[in-house]
Structures are given as structure tokens and as C-alpha cells.
Amino acid sequence: MKQETIRHSLAHLLAYAVSELYPGIKFGIGPAIKNGFYYDFDFKNPISNEDLPKIENKMKELIKQNIVFKKKNVSKNEAKKIFKNQPYKLELIKELPGKIVSIYQSGEFLDLCKGPHIKSTKEINAEAFKLTKTAGAYWRGNEKNPMLTRIYGLAFDTKKELEEFLKKEKEAEKRDHRILGQKLELFMFDEEIGAGLPLWMPKGEILRHIIEEYLYEELKKAGYQWVRTPHLGNLNLWKTSGHWELYRENMYSPIEIENEKYLIKPMNCPFHVKIYQSKIISYKNLPIKYAELGTVYRYEKSGVLHGLTRVRGFTQDDAHIFCTPEQLTEEVEELLCHGFKIFETFGFKEFNIYLSTRPEKYAGTIKGWEKATNVLKYVLKKLKIKYQVDAGGGVFYGPKIDIKIKDSLGREWQCTTIQVDFNLPKRFNITFINNKGKKEKVYMIHRALLGSMERFIGVLLEHYAGALPFWLSSEQIWLIPVGSQHIEYAREVSEKIQGLQIRDVIKDENETVSKKIREGEIKKIPYLLVVGDKEMKNKTVRVRERGKGDIGEMELEKFLKGLEI
């Protein structure tokens, strides 16, 4: 709370400094945010990041003056007079309830604000804040309103914390999957196609394919059956499932085909339910596990779209498990263990686990919720997994476990959800024949492990800063012949490499060796093998390993044996 108050007070000081440096400026609002604060301004002449040090220095001057924050309650009429040249403030005053509004005075600067604030700038550590960037922001987030300039600042308790944060941010910037995706030619976006709709380029598709193939095999071994379902479904289906009623704001408008309405699917669940329903299922057949790499489309505001991690169309590694009530515990346990094993294969070992419980609006009975929640708790405890409870954070149809993976920078990424569902089995009336020959409601578990292919690949790129493990690299080895007379030998080597199902490329363009090496390093190729006279004569290769550089001349067989394949 204290930190938030300091951050918000810094926002006032930012506005104060700006008003001193740019007379006649119009003010928007300036709240505290995570790690800092911002303030929105309407500048006569737009400013840029280069102007920030000047403003920051002015703020530091103000802080030194031990400026006091004073709260005053004034009538709305008085407030209107005070802010007569501030159209945005006037708009806010008009909308505030009651007749009295509170304002804060710090030095010459007055702001409409309900507080709280620090007593004086003595409480601020002038070394522990920094203005970071400017950005355009519509007044009140509405694109019909004027575009204001938002100045962002960071603020911490100590200079050390600020420096550490900046360092981490810089590291994160280097790992930005949007930039890496372009540099490594994995995926792209195109304005004419539309926002949030990624295109997978050849190398990106190879990466996806590697992951998909791995999942196909891995899930098959774990007893899943792969299915595939269409991208559209009749509106009636979505009415039955409850999506039309409860999930409509995330779906795109219906498409009309022969007087019937169809919706693009935001989820795969109802389709899998239909496959389950196509046969009479005995308890002896359960559990049944259907898996699909199902591409779904959900409405996201354009402002929140972000590279691959927030998109409008994505492919879930989705699965639905149908089981008897008695099997629920075992299935959840298996799911979790299997999930951790898969994550480990991709190099993730640390997780934060959340258990989300019954929200205000819910389907099913309290008793049912308790039972399912207890199953989830029991499994977490049995596996000795530490978790946090997100009270009321469950989806309307059942409690869930979320797994957030921690990347190499310690950042959390939401990937897995495991949800127990009371809603769909009831709505679609899906049953099995129990051991007494009677129909009984089946239990249904939804689970997406990686979450979506798009998001997961984004996370992988950030985790590894683009230097993906050997098995995930779309181009694993580059062969670099020194001169044209070595191309033939490079081809010989290539044949042997391909015999081991390794993906290689012969770089026979007319470029210098050093240029090719540099390019290979930029593209984060795991191994660059240079072959010239000596290597051709000795039947060897000169190996450059990613991150290590030249590791010497080696017999090809020996090099290939040493690869982790």
C-alpha cells in the first residue's frame, strides 16, 4: 500500500514537472500501476522519449524541495473553477457523484484526486524511480476520444531494486519472441490478413511439427485417442453447450449457411462430447481420452493482442477425459504427472500451481463442487505439490488446477489448465452404463497441457532466448564448405547426417566462410560444420558449437555419436 501511494504521488509530481516545463498542458489521469506509475497528457506539440530526462530532472528538483501533499474538499462548482482550463478534468468532475470532490495540492500543482498520498516528498527515494517511455493512449481508452501522450515511470523502494528490474527488463527484451520470431523466420503477422492471426513460415512449421509429432506419440502411449473436428458448429450446438449463453462475448458473430446459423468454435469440447455420444459406453470402456490439436478462435480486443501469447486464432493441445466418478482421482493424478514429464522434456522444471474454487455463478450443486474440489486437493497433496488457492477463480462449470510454468528469467506463464466439468455432461446428458446395468452420468475433465501451440512456442522462444534445444531446432546443422571444390565433400557429409534423421543445410552460396558463420550464429544454429582441404583429406569436420565457438576438428562419426538424439 505504501509503495502504491509513493508511486501515485510520483505520478502527481510527474504532472507537476510537466506543467512547469510545458505551460498550458492539459491533464488526463495518473494512477499507480504495477512497478510504477503513468500520467496522460495532451501536449500542444508531441514529445518523445528524448524529452524524458529533462522531465525526470525536474521531478528530482521538486522532490528535493520537500513538497507537501495537502488534501482539500471543495464543492463541485469550486472544482470547476479551479480546473476551468482542463477539459478532461472537467469531464471527470461532471461524472463524480455527490456535491463535494477532493483535490490534492502539492506545491503549485493541483489535481483532482481521492488519494491517499504521502505527506511530503521526503518519503520518496529520488534514486529509485525512472521515467521509461512515452506511448499514445486514447482518453479513457476509447478510440473515438483524442489520443493523449502517456508517460510511464518505474518506482521502487531502493535504487538496487530499480536497477535489477531494468536489467531483467533488458534481458526480457532480448528474449522478446516477437522479435526472435522474425529474426529466426518462424512466424509473421500481416495487416491485410488481420491482427492476432499468425502465419507460420516454413521454419516455424517445422518447429510446430516436431512438437506435434512428439505429442502424438506421447499421448498415444498414455492411452489417448486422437480425433479431429470441424472449425464451425451449428448455433444450436452452442446453445446446448451453454457457450451461446455464457461465452458469447468471446465468440465471433454467426455465419449464415442455408438459413442455418453457424459459429466458429471457441472450444473443442462439444465436438468431443458428440464423438463420445456416438456409441453406448460401458464402465468397462472408461476412461476414454480424446485428444485434438484443435484450432479455435476467440475474440480479443486488438489492444491486448501480443505476438503469439495473445492471439485471436490458436491451436489448443486439447483433450477431454471421460471417466466414472471413482476414476476421477486417478485420472487427475495421471494427468498431472504426465504433464510435468512433458514439460521437463521441453526444459521446464519449475512451476506455480493454482487451485481455483467455486465462483459466484456456477453450474451443478455445492456438494458436487466440494467433491470435485476435494479430489483436486487430495491429488495435489498426494503428489506433494505446493499450490495456492484462487478462491472463487474456477470456471462456471467446475473447479480447476492451473499450472504456470516459470521460465529462465523467473517469469510466470499460464499454460496448463485441468478442469472438472459438471456442466456439459448434464447439458448433453452424457452417460455410461455402470456395473449394475444402469445409466450413470459420466465425469468429464478438460485439459490443455501446453495451452496452445502458439503461446507455448512464444514461451519456448523467450525461455531459450531463441537458442532452442537441438531436437527442437528446425535447422540443426549447417555445413559450410570453404570453397566450391569442397561442396562435393559437404554433400557426402550431408548424406550421412540425413541418414540419422538430422535436419541439415549445405550453405553453398557464394559468400565468405566468416559471413556464413556469423549468419549461423544469428540464426542460432546448434552446430556449424566447416569443411575445407584439411577436413576433406582427413574425412573430418571442423565443429563450431552454439555458444561455444570453434571446438576443433573431429571425425564425423565421433561428432554424430556425441549428439543428443
CA distance 447 to 398: 12
Q: Quick one: 110 or 148, whose CB is closer to Zn ion?
A: 110
Place of cell 510537466: 18
Distance CA 379, CA 384 (A): 8
**Which residue lies nearer to Zn ion by CB, 12 or 507?**
12
Q: How far is the CB of 503 from Zn ion (least distance, A)?
A: 34
Nearest approach in angstroms of CB 416 to Zn ion is 13
- Nearest approach in angstroms of CB 217 to Zn ion is 22
Q: Which three cell numbers stand for residue 453?
A: 501451440
| 201 Rama sector, left if φ>0, alpha if ψ -120 to 50, beta otherwise | beta
452: β partners: 316
H/E stretch holding 317: strand 313-323
Asked if 545 and 551 count as a contact pair (C-beta separation under 8 A), the reply is: yes
Given the complex with Zn ion, which of 4 and 553 has the nearer CB atom?
4
With respect to Zn ion, which residue has the nearer C-beta, 446 or 524? 446
Question: Which residues are tagged catalytic?
Answer: 269, 298, 316, 318, 320, 400, 446
Q: How far is the CB of 376 from Zn ion (least distance, A)?
A: 16
Q: Which grid cell is 524?
A: 542460432
Least CB distance from residue 210 to Zn ion, whole Å?
Answer: 25
Question: Does 243 appear as a known binding residue?
Answer: no
The answer to whether residues 243 and 367 touch, using CB atoms and an 8 Å cutoff, is: no
- Position 149, amino acid: T
Grid cell at residue 541: 569436420
**Which residues are within 8 A (CB) of 497 and not within 5 positions of it... i.e. 6 or more apart?**
477, 479, 504, 560
> In the structure grid, which three cell numbers stand for residue 469, read together?
534445444
The reply to whether 269 sits in an annotated binding site is yes
187 vs 422 by CB, closer to Zn ion: 422
Please identify, using beta-carbon distances, which residue of 182 and 240 lies nearer to Zn ion: 240
CA distance 444 to 241: 14
DSSP for 176-230, written as a single string: -HHHHHHHTT-EE--TTT-TT--EE-HHHHHHHHHHHHHHHHHHHHTT-EE----
Minimum CB–partner distance for residue 211 and Zn ion (Å): 20
CA distance 311 to 302: 9
The answer for 451, left when phi > 0, alpha when psi is -120 to 50, beta otherwise, is left
Least distance in angstroms from the C-beta of 368 to Zn ion? 18
Q: Which residues lie below 8 Å from residue 347, measured CB to CB, with a gap of 6+? A: 463, 464, 469
The site for Zn ion (CB under 5 A) is made up of 113, 269, 446
Confirm if 288 and 281 have CB atoms less than 8 A apart.
Answer: yes
The DSSP symbol for 30 reads: -
> Counting Cβ atoms within 10 Å, is residue 125 exposed (0-12), middle (13-18) or buried (19+)?
middle
Please indicate if the annotation marks 231 as binding a ligand: no
- Binding-site positions read 269, 320, 446
- Binding-site positions for Zn(2+) read 269, 320, 446
